[in-house]
Structures are given as C-alpha cells and as structure tokens.
Structure 1
Amino acid sequence: MTTILHLIDTTGPGGAETVFTNLLEELEQTDFRNIVVLRGEGWVADRVRGLGITPHIIDSKGSFNLAYVSALRQLIASERVELIHAHLLGSNVYGALLALVCRKPMIATFHGAVDVASRERFLRAKFFLIGRGASAIVCVSKRLQQELADRSPLSTHKLKLIYNGVDPRAFRGAPASGLKEELGLPQDVTLVVSIGNIRPAKGYEYLVDAAIIMAERDPKVHFVVVGHQKEALFNKLMDQVAKAPRKPNIHWLGFRDDVADILRQADIFLLPSVSEGFSISTVEAMMAGVPVVATRSGGPEEIITDGVSGILVPVKDAGAIVVAVQTMMNESRRKSVIGEARRSAIERFSLQSMLTRYKEIYRQLVK
C-alpha cells in the first residue's frame, strides 16, 4: 500500500479545496493510504473528517516556517510516506523542499493564475525550488500550463495537464425546489446563478453592472450569488449597488453547502470572472443541465464551445453579459445548449477521469 502525504495552503471553501477533498474521497476507495496535513481548522478539515480521515493540523504561519518543515519531516518518516502531493503555491514550495530533503517524489498542483501572480514575494526563488523538488507539476488548464511555461523557470517536460473533475452523480435525482420561495420570489422569475467566493478575480462588479442594466430591461431577471463574502470587496459591491439609478435584483447568499441543489434550480449560470484557471462551478452547471454564460477569462474557453455548449463573452463587459443572458432565455436555444453541455462535461471533466490521470502519475513516480 502506497502512502501519500497531501498538503494544501488554505482551509476553504473554494474550487481548489473542493478538488482536494473530492480527490481524497476517490482515493479512499483505492489501495492508496492518505495522510492529510492542514494549516488550520475550517471547511476543508470538516470535509476531510467526513471522509473518515483525521487530518494533522500543523500551523505554518510565516514566509518560511522551519518548525513546520521539521514537523512534516518527522511525519513523513513516522508514517513512511512514499509520495508527496501538494496544492497551491505555498504548499507546493514546502512540498518541493521536503521532497529534496527526504528524497521523495512529489507532485505540485497549480489551480489558477493567482498561483503565478507576479506580485508574489520571491516568486522566482519559489519556482526554482518547485522546479528542483517536484517530480511532476500539474496544471488544471492549458492556459495555466502555457503561463507557467512562459513566465516561470519550471521545466516544461515536468508540466502535466489534468482537468479538475466533477462527480455527475451529485446532479441526478428529482428536481430541486425551494430557492424562489426562500428568496420570496414568484415562480415566473428567471434566476441567473453565480457560484464563487467574492474576490477580485471573480469580476462581480461586472455582474452588478449587468444586473443594473437588466433591472431596466427585464425586472423579472434576478441574479443570485453564492460564495464567501470578503468584507472589503463586498462593501465596495454594496456601494456600487447603492449608487445605481434603479436597484438591481441581486441576492447575496454567502457560503452555502447546498450548491448542487441551488444549481439545479438555476435558469442560467453566469461566470463573470476576469481571470479563471479552471471553473469547477461551470462544469457543475453543465452537468446540472443549466445553460452557461461565461467570460473568456482563461479556463472557460477550454470548457465551453461558444454557441454550442454555452455562450462566451468578453471579460469586463456587462453589456455583453446582458445580451447573452437574454439570448439564453430563449427556450429553443436553451434546449440545444443543455444536451451538448452535459454530454461534453461528463465525457471530458468527470471525477473519474481526473482520478485516473492522477493515479497514473502516482504509480509512475512510486515505481
């Protein structure tokens, strides 16, 4: 039985964190033994415990925490870890260092442009360490793979493409209901749902602008945003709403653990991002049978075929969002998109496909 040490920077929730826990869930059904180290309590820790795994909570505050490295080194020895798998930049750096010190194979997974942000301190040094210590460097989109090849000293022969996977079983079953009642809305309104924590890359200011325009054109269209609300940015969005000539129909739901049910009640899914590595929520919407409007923000262009399995619009263009939403309200257009989107998502972005690719790399490295 091969023992794998799994590391991730954050405590969640979010797209990378969902992939992290979904991968663990699938690996628990295989002959791999999983050791998980987290930096603190939170959503990820709760999800990991729900899988029957007790995570090791080890604080790693500071730009370079020697106590953290020492604790992980001891854990690798005591648990006889044979492979390290890290996610996101910080954990990739620590994982690469441990791989060099402990002489273990290591996989570094990058999930988005935030992992290669030029403003990151000591970025070239961090990339140099990852390049030396990582045996394989996984990118979740072709665009991200190209960015890493162009903007970092990482060896291109180590770069691997593995799309994030979604379990289609989560979107089967009887139709969900209750969201319109919860929001106090009549049944004839159109719900445009967006999933994702409120942070700059998600482009929610353009969703607000689109909702302001839509309030004038069709007041029966309501926008629903699901995701953690980071206070400073959320307050800016609230100011934007308050200054609107007509109050837009936007419902901010905050974090929810019933995302699958919410998606299944959406009439349209909207991804307004200005930068996106790979959008899990877009794939989830496709599997849920919800027509997608997404920006050309990186990852979506690899998920959606414009006009066939969804509609792609330019980034930072509220007017284009409005036009695309109105187009998707046409019933015949919706039907033609939904079937192709679901087929494409299940074929290309299933959880099983992601698991198969990772298992191939695991076995290659352990051998």
Structure 2
Amino acid sequence: MKKVLHLIDTTGPGGAETVFIQLLRNLSKDKYQHHVILRGEGWVADQVRESGLEPVFIDSKGSFNLGYAWALVQFVRSKKIDVIHAHLMGSNVYGALVAMLTRKPMIATFHGGVDVARQERLLRIKFKLISLGADSIVCVSRKLEEELKQRGELESCKLKLIYNGVDPGLFSRRSGTLKSELGLSDDAIVVLSVGNIRPAKGYEYLVDAAAKMKTAQEYHFVVVGDQKKSLYAELLKRVETHGGLPNLHFLGFRSDVKEILGQADVFLLTSISEGFSIATVEAMMAGVTVVATRSGGPEEIVEDEITGQLIPVGDPEAVKTALFKLRDRAYAERLRQAALDSARERFSLVNMVQAYEGLYDNLTV
C-alpha cells in the first residue's frame, strides 16, 4: 500500500480547503494510506477527522521555518512516505524542499491567481524550489496553467491541468428555512454569493449592486463566508454610504452551505480574480442559475448565455441588468438546466479523484 502525505498551510474554510477535504474523503483507502500534516486546529482539522483520519500538527509559522521543514523530513522518513501532495504556495514550497531532501516524488497544486501573485515575497526563489522539487505541478484552471507557462518560472513540462471536482450527489434543489430565517416573503428572490470576505471576491461591487436594486424589493442579496474583520468593516461602511441596505444580508461562515445553495434563486459571483470557482460549480450542481464575472476561472466553467451569464468585473450595473434579464423564466430555466448537465459532465468529483490517483501511481511506479 502506497503512503501519501497531504499538506496544506491553512486551517479555515475556503475553496482550496474544500478540495483538499474532498480528496481525502474520496481517494482510495485500499490503494493508499493517507497521512495529513496541518499547522494547527480549525475547520480543516475537524473535516479531516470527519473523513476518518487524525491530523498531525506541526507549527509552520514564519516566512521560512527550518524547524518545520526538518520535522517534515523526519516524518517522511519515519513513516516511509511514498509521495508528497501539497496545496497552496506555502506548503508547495516546503513540500518541494522536503521532496528534494528525501528524494520522494511530489505533487504541488496551485488553486488560483492569488496563490501565485507577483507581489508574493521571494516569488522567484519559491518558484525555483517548487520547479526543482515537484514532479507534477497541478493547475486547477487552464487560465492559471497558461499564465504560469507564459511567466516561464516553472518547468512547463511539469504543469498539469486538473479541474476541481464536485460530488453531484451532495447538491439538489431543496425547500428550507432560509427565507423565514431572514424574515423574507415566499416570493422573495434570493441572490446568493458564497466565499470568504477577501479582496479578490469583489464584494464592494456586490454592495453597490444591492444599492442599485434597493427599490426592487423582491431581490435580496445573501453573502455566506468567513468575515475578515477589517474587510468586513469596510463593507459595512460602504453599506452606510448607501443609507443602509435592507436587501443585503451577511451571514458569515455557515456549515450548511449545501442546504442554503439549494434554496437560492440565483448564484452571483462578483470576484475580480478567480483561479477556479468551486462555489460556481457547486451552484450549477445544485440547479441554481449562475451570474459570474469574467475573472479568470468562471470563463472555463460558464458558457455565456448558454450555461449562465458572464459579466464584466467591477460593474454593479451589469449585475442589475443580468438579474433583470433572468425575470424571463423560460430563459432562466434553460440556463439552469444546461448548467446542471454541463457541471455533471465536466466537473465531477470522480474525474478529479481519478486524475490525482493517476499521478500518484505514475510517480510511485
């Protein structure tokens, strides 16, 4: 049985973290023995335990923690790890270094443009380490893959495209209590956005769109995601500049996102940058009509006017226009059904798991 070490350097909920957990839950337990190292307790650790594994905690604080790297080396040697699989920049760097020191094959997965932003400290050095230590470098979108090829800082022959996958069985249209929880009428139109509050999500444009539609009282914007205090405070100030927005609801982190998705009428993505939007795929799987910005990943997921609507980045007026266009129920239903069919065919969890297992097997032959 091959032994796989899984690394990720974040502890809270998010898109990359969801993919990390989905892999742990669905990778073969007969072919592989899985080990997980995290930097501390949190949502990821709780989900790892729910998948039947007990995470090991090693503190990785600091820009370059040699103690952490050495602890990883000792773990790989003591557990006789066969392949290292890391996610996100920090873990990719450490994983590559450990792979070189232990001479073990390694997979580095990048989850988006933010992960490889040019303002990242010591980026060229980090890319050099990853390029030397990783045997395969996975990109979750073609746009990200092409960007990294053009930059030339990673060996292009090592770059692989594997789309993030979603289990269609987890999502369906459901009746629920969201409208009553928010005090909304049954005929209210719920426009849902899912994603942690951070700059790349462009929530300031969502606030402005809600302001433009304040008089269209049937529309209610609902945001689900972890709230970083400073950014959330800025959004609340923006709400105040519009005189308050009773049609805008920030719910914070929720563990029942799947249930909430099934109760939405429209899924709205206002991001200014996305490597691959797993939330958009989940919305499609849940049978929710999608409106998303042309922010990178969504253009590979949504076909404009066929499986959803693609709108410009940073354009609240375009949000309003797209939502009003969906008042044509036949049009909205056509988009919804086409999106559901497309998501099931192109972005299934089975496809993703098989692709990663193929890498594991090829690297450990």
Q: Which residue of 2 aligns with 1:293?
A: 291
Counterparts of 2:337 and 2:214, CA distance in 1: 30
Counterparts of 1:80 and 1:246, CA distance in 2: 58
Q: Which residue of 2 aligns with 1:343?
A: 341
Q: Which residue of 2 aligns with 1:303?
A: 301
C-alpha displacement of 1:29: 4.0
Pick from 321, 326, 329: which aligns with 1:323? 321
Q: Which residue of 2 aligns with 1:354?
A: 352
Give ranges in structure 2 of 5+ residues lacking alignment.
Answer: none
Letter in 2 for 1:7: L
- Structure 1 runs of 4+ off > 4 angstroms? none
1:63-98 deviation per Cα after TM superposition (whole angstroms, max 9, x unaligned): 111111111111111111000000000000000001
Q: Which residue of 2 aligns with 1:125?
A: 125
SS in 2 for 1:215: coil
Q: Which residue of 2 aligns with 1:56?
A: 56
1:9-62 deviation per Cα after TM superposition (whole angstroms, max 9, x unaligned): 100200000000000000154411100000110000000011110100100001
C-alpha displacement of 1:327: 1.1
1:242 aligns with 2:240: yes
| Alpha carbons of structure 1 residues 137 and 148: separation in structure 2 relative to 1, 3 Å | same
C-alpha displacement of 1:279: 0.4
C-alpha displacement of 1:164: 0.3
Equivalent residues of 1:127, 1:152 under 8 A apart: no
Equivalent residues of 1:208, 1:248 under 8 A apart: no
Give ranges in structure 1 of 5+ residues lacking alignment.
Answer: none
Letter in 2 for 1:202: K
1:304-357 deviation per Cα after TM superposition (whole angstroms, max 9, x unaligned): 000000000000000001100111232111110111101100110011000011
User: Aligned-residue CA RMSD in angstroms?
Assistant: 1.0
The alignment covers a number of residue pairs equal to: 365
Letter in 2 for 1:146: E
Q: Which residue of 1 aligns with 2:114?
A: 114
C-alpha displacement of 1:175: 2.1
Counterparts of 1:106 and 1:329, CA distance in 2: 49
Counterparts of 1:134 and 1:209, CA distance in 2: 43
C-alpha displacement of 1:245: 4.4
Give the percent of matched residue pairs that are identical in Structure 1 and Structure 2: 58
Counterparts of 2:181 and 2:104, CA distance in 1: 51
Letter in 2 for 1:227: G
C-alpha displacement of 1:208: 0.4
Q: Which residue of 1 aligns with 2:220?
A: 222
SS in 2 for 1:23: helix
1:79-118 mapped onto 2 (5 Å cutoff):
79-118=79-118
Counterparts of 2:247 and 2:50, CA distance in 1: 36
1:1-367 mapped onto 2 (5 Å cutoff):
1-172=1-172, 175-216=174-215, 218-245=216-243, 247-367=245-365
Question: Structure 2-normalised TM-score?
Answer: 0.98
Letter in 1 for 2:245: K
